[in-house]
Structure 1
Amino acid sequence: MTIHRYLRLIAGFFILLSLLLAFVHSPHWLWFTAFVGLNLLQSAFTDWCPMMTILRSLGVREN
């Protein structure tokens, strides 16, 4: 898998996990959902995402 596929996988997992935690535990977990969404939005404009930096350092291939 490429870095972009891992990024979408991780973002989707984080969103679903935070929604589940908001439903089961506390609605404050929705702040994490908002953080992931805002991070995806800013990465669309800047082409930089902290998770991409982490994935690159772990040796995930670009293409």
Structure 2
Amino acid sequence: MSVDRAVMAFAGCMVLVSLLLAHFVHPAWIWLTVFVGANLLQASFTGFCPAAALFKKLGFKPGAAFR
């Protein structure tokens, strides 16, 4: 799995988890979704993504998201 796909999978999981937590635990968990979205937006403009840096350190290979 490439770093790009790992970041997309992680972001998608975080959004789904935060929505479940907001529904079943407390509505304030929706802020996690806001944070994930804001991080994805800033990464698209700056090219810096903390999750991508972490996945690279964990050994994921850089590469195109879709091949």
On whether the aligned pair clears a TM of 0.5, the verdict is yes
1:34 is matched with which residue? 34
Unaligned runs of 5+ in 1: none
Considering only aligned residues, what root-mean-square deviation do their CA atoms show, in Å?
A: 0.5
What pairs up with 1:7-46 in 2 under 5 angstroms?
Answer: 7-46=7-46
Structure 1 runs (4+) deviating above 6 angstroms are none
Structure 1 vs Structure 2: percent identity of aligned residues? 43
1:51 is matched with which residue? 51
Q: Deviations over 1:1-31 (max 9, x none)?
A: 1100010000000000000000000001011
Unaligned runs of 5+ in 2: none
TM-score between the two structures when normalised by the length of structure 1: 0.97
1:41 deviates by: 0.3
- The one-letter amino acid of 2:26's match is S
Q: Alignment length, in residue pairs?
A: 63
